[in-house]
Amino acid sequence: MASGYPLPQQKSKLLLHKGWGSEVTSPSFHVYRSEIILMINKLKNQRLTLGLILRLLLGLAVVIYLGWRIYQTAFGEGTYGPDTWMRFLITGLVIGGMYALIAIGYTLVYGILFMINFAHGEVMMLGTFAGYFVLEAFAAIPAPTVANPDLNFLNAQPVIALVLTFLVGAGFSALMGYMLEKIAYRPLRGAPRLIPLISAIGASIFLQNAAQLLFGPQRRQYLNPDFLWRGTGWMILVGGKEVMLTYTGVFSFVLSILLMIGLFIMVKKTKLGKSMRAVAENKQAAALMGIDVDSVISKTFIISGILAGAAGVMWGLHNGLFNHFVGFLPGIKAFTAAVLGGIGNIPGAMMGGMLLGLLESIGPALLGIDFQLKDVIAFTILILVLIFRPSGLLGEALSEEKV
Amino acid sequence: MKTSLTKGLRSGIVFGIVFIFLMLIGFINVGADMVGDISSASAASGAGGRLPVGDLLIVIAVFGVFCGIAARSKSEEVQWWSALLGGLTAGITAGLLMGVAIWLVGSLSLDGVDFRTYLPSLNPASIQYLTFYSYPQSAGLTYLMYMAIFSVAGAALAWLLSFRDWLAKSWNSCKTGLGGWFEKKDVSRIFSNQWLMIVVFLAAGILLYFLPLAWGSYWNYIMGTVAIYILLGLGLNIIVGYSGQLVLGYVAFFATGAYTFALLTAPTPHGIEMNLWLAVGLSILVSTLTGLLLGLPILNLRGDYLAIVTLGFGEIVRILIRSDLLTSLTNGPKGVTSVGQPNLFGSPFSDVNFMHLLMLLVLIGLFIAKRLKDSNTGRAWIAIREDQTVAQATGINTFKHKILALLLGAAFAGLAGALFASRNQFTGPEDFTLMVSVNVLCIVIVGGMGSLPGVVLGAFVLKGIPELLREMADYRLLVFGALLVVMMIVRPEGLWPARRVRFKRSHADPDRQDAVEVEV
């Protein structure tokens, strides 16, 4: 625990001689054995400190509370029918997909630079704005036909228009991510870790206010093409009642899944992905192997910008209203998602995003609390995860240096 | 020559884009307005209620000079014509960008395009001003010409300065001279003279006593805000600056203090109307307990993780305060009004009295923080900040010290919160956004982590100056964000960095002098 770490190497050596004798049968067994020894050591040295007791008590209290509330909702007066739960599920998955996309950006950057890219939410916000302007421009271009003289380009060629919107939104966010890294983070490479974080906070404030001053503080409405209009969708029957599966929701969800698969393939299969993983593992060694670390970092920011920009356009298409604050909460929540899944871990970020979206939409109903408090749920989850499992759900145990 | 050309091109592009950005957010007009205020001799606006064009030209000229200076290549050996060519390139590039932008905007505006739907700052009046109330083409050419001329002038200036190395030399000599002056033994002897210092402190005290009387209530308000932020900064400085725990949810403690005080003294939600001094004590206590509650489970986290958890905690506190769940307790989004005000011999505090109280508390806070820093605990904190593992290995109980830092910091925030609520006579949930935490953190960082004069200076720079620049109120946060980034790049140690204390052996032990000399 916090007080009194023993010196691990020395102790384990000591036990090695005492307990298991000195003959080593096979290397794999050797590794395995030393791990066991470390574990035993850890248990032995686990002192019952105040912090530990408090954590246990807190954990117990949380479990009891959750159990009680869930029991109440499930077996108490059934206020919500299955259709409502379905609705929550759909909302959660759609929002979760966007969270996951943004969370991947955090995780990629954190995995490589060990810094929280605080301005990542703002990068997403800029993507939302870029997409909005592209859609407005397409709507202003006339493309009249004989049947419909008022037709504009947005509705005449909706697929091309949407593809271009996503390209511009993601591209602009990528450009912003690249510039951000170049201006605000690159000069601080190698500084103490607090310094880039402050710089990131500054960049976040700057971008948010720049957007406000440029485009005004009022809320704007996204202009979807007609076939993807908000509030339209398929009706599905759940428990005898109709639940709407909105087109925008399905579109966003599918697109985010596709982007995640694409990213996963990129990281696992391509040369850039390989060099990214190498840089995340060890910058110096990667540089010695001939990898241009700076360019890999730049590309990482570009990739996370692309994902954030796509998420921003989706956010606009799905939710409609937005202003310059649109990136703040999703940014923080996506960071929560990244931590939830284990920061630095890409599948973790995806899973964390989905999970957080679901918890946020289902949680208030499940716990029987006010929907105003859904942000509290996200932050409480963050705190609980960090208290009980700082490495996240999928993350490997980070070494002391990283946590 | 090639380097100066590319350098000029790059500088020109950057300055052109920055100018267009500033134009789009309406900052150029505000800047010209401020120039007009400064050179108020020409303040009589031109014919027909038009704004004076000269002010705008001054802004462009200043921009051009900086563009030229930035185009200077770093390498020492640059011919004069090469430097001027670089400046000219920069000026023409930036001028072309600006001129084309002005021409486009101006002619579109003349054609009846309304930009305000998308870019609210670009209203027709300001566009007319930006085009000098003339044709857009000629205005664009004017921009190009001005930028070219003044960029060359800036480049020439930069070249002259770098050629003579005059500025660098004089700055260096200034620095060494001042340093030498400070290190003189006579000076240190004067400072170590107790009687003299008492006189100095007395004089400062008298000055501090009379300043609020002379200022008037507006300045008292601003300086009161600064004082409250100094208290907050002192508290966060203990947590972040001394013990190195990055806490981003400091506003939670501030809010707890303010709300405790407000609810205990205000008549509306609960009607307790407690004795104020007792309420202040209680709000400090409650804030400290909040710190304990937060700190015990999470303080073994480090760095960014701790930052995000505390950020989440701060947001939770704000959301809970304004939620329906706690409305019966905290009065929800409406906030608590008519918070109790202190009395002085039966009559309520005036703003001058309040300012005196704040000054006194700031001085006490500074004293406490200073003593804490020099104490055993303070050294333990600094050891933890530098390297936690090593600190642990040397036998410091890191957990205890970290929690102590958090509790002390929370206590400062509780006091500041109580004062804040009492001074404003109101407290609402929107006073306690994340921006407060960020502001206080920036005070600590910009001032210099762990440095007490730095906190005071930081509070004046970050809270005082923006309050004074009312014209720039809209652009305050923008400048603030940019300032943070630039500051971290240029001077990460802060405006007034903390001195690293080196412990020498005592002079009373002359036999051991050799040890010191060997080390030096």
Give the contacts of B133 (CB within 8 A, at least 6 positions apart). B50, B53
A60 part of a folded domain: no
B302 touches chain A (CB under 8 A): yes
Taking CB atoms and an 8 Å cutoff, what residues of chain B touch A373? 319-320, 323, 325
Of B393, B482, B489, the CB nearest to A188: B489
Taking CB atoms and an 8 Å cutoff, what residues of chain A touch B246? 194, 197
Q: What is the pLDDT of residue A210?
A: 92
Tell me the CATH number at A116: 1.10.3470
Taking CB atoms and an 8 Å cutoff, what residues of chain A touch B24? 214
Q: How many residues does chain A have?
A: 403
Interface test with A, best of B245, B250, B309 (most A CBs within 10 A): B309
Q: How far is A286 from chain B (nearest CA, A)?
A: 25
Mean pLDDT of A26-38: 60
Residues A205-248: tens digit of each pLDDT: 899 999 998 888 888 888 888 888 887 888 888 777 888 888 88
Give the contacts of B496 (CB within 8 A, at least 6 positions apart). B447, B448, B451, B453, B454, B457
Taking CB atoms and an 8 Å cutoff, what residues of chain B touch A3? 392, 397-400
Q: How far is B63 from chain A (nearest CA, A)?
A: 20
Q: Which residue of A has its CA nearest to B491?
A: A195
CB spacing of B300 vs A199 below 8 angstroms: no
Q: What is the pLDDT of residue B237?
A: 93
Task: At A202, list the tokens.
Answer: 């500054």
Q: Tell me the pLDDT of chain B averaged across its residues.
A: 82
Distance CA B143, CA B149 (A): 10
Q: Give the CA-trace dihedral at B106, B107, B112, B118, to 10 degrees.
A: -50
A65 part of a folded domain: no
Interface test with B, best of A376, A377, A402 (most B CBs within 10 A): A376
CB spacing of B308 vs A214 below 8 angstroms: no
Q: What is the dihedral sign for C-alpha A75, A81, A82, A87?
A: negative
Of B449, B477, B485, the CB nearest to A184: B485
How many independent structural domains does chain A possess?
Answer: 1
More confident residue, B299 or A301: A301
Q: Which domain holds residue A101?
A: 85-388
Residue matched to tokens 């002079």: B507
Q: What is the dihedral sign for C-alpha B268, B270, B273, B278?
A: negative
Q: Give the CA-trace dihedral at B173, B178, B184, B186, to 10 degrees.
A: 140
A214 part of a folded domain: yes
Residue from B321, B190, B186 nearest B258 by CA: B321
Residues B190-240: tens digit of each pLDDT: 667 778 888 888 888 888 888 888 878 888 888 899 999 999 999 999 999
Of B120, B392, B445, the CB nearest to A198: B445
B440 touches chain A (CB under 8 A): no
SS3 A246: strand
Q: What is the pLDDT of residue B74?
A: 63
Q: How far is B215 from chain A (nearest CA, A)?
A: 33
Distance CA A251, CA A162 (A): 11
Residues B245-270: tens digit of each pLDDT: 888 889 999 999 999 999 888 887 77
First to last CA, chain A: 14
Look at residue A403 and tell me whether its pLDDT is greater than 60.
Answer: no
CB spacing of B438 vs A201 below 8 angstroms: yes
Taking CB atoms and an 8 Å cutoff, what residues of chain A touch B241? none
Taking CB atoms and an 8 Å cutoff, what residues of chain B touch A50? 296
Q: What is the pLDDT of residue A18?
A: 34
Q: What is the pLDDT of residue B69?
A: 84
Q: Is residue A73 within 8 Å of residue A368, measured between CB atoms?
A: yes
Mean pLDDT of A373-378: 82
More confident residue, B318 or A37: B318
> Which amino acid would we find at residue A356?
L
A9 part of a folded domain: no
A42 part of a folded domain: no
Q: Is residue A251 within 8 Å of residue A92, measured between CB atoms?
A: no
**Burial level of B129, CB count in 10 A (0-12/13-18/19+)?**
buried
Mean pLDDT of B374-392: 89
**Global pTM value:** 0.83
First to last CA, chain B: 47
A4 part of a folded domain: no
With a CB-CB cutoff of 8 Å, which residues 22-41 of chain A face chain B? none
Helix (H) or strand (E) holding A165: helix A158-180
More confident residue, B280 or A391: B280
Q: How far is B517 from chain A (nearest CA, A)?
A: 31
Of A279-288, B426-435, B483-492, B494-503, which range is least confident? B494-503
A151 part of a folded domain: yes
Task: At A318, list the tokens.
Answer: 């799905």
Look at residue A15 and tell me whether its pLDDT is greater than 70.
Answer: no
Q: How many residues does chain B have?
A: 520
Residues B33-86: tens digit of each pLDDT: 777 777 665 445 444 456 777 788 888 888 888 888 888 766 556 677 888 888
With a CB-CB cutoff of 8 Å, which residues 114-173 of chain A face chain B? 114-116, 133, 136
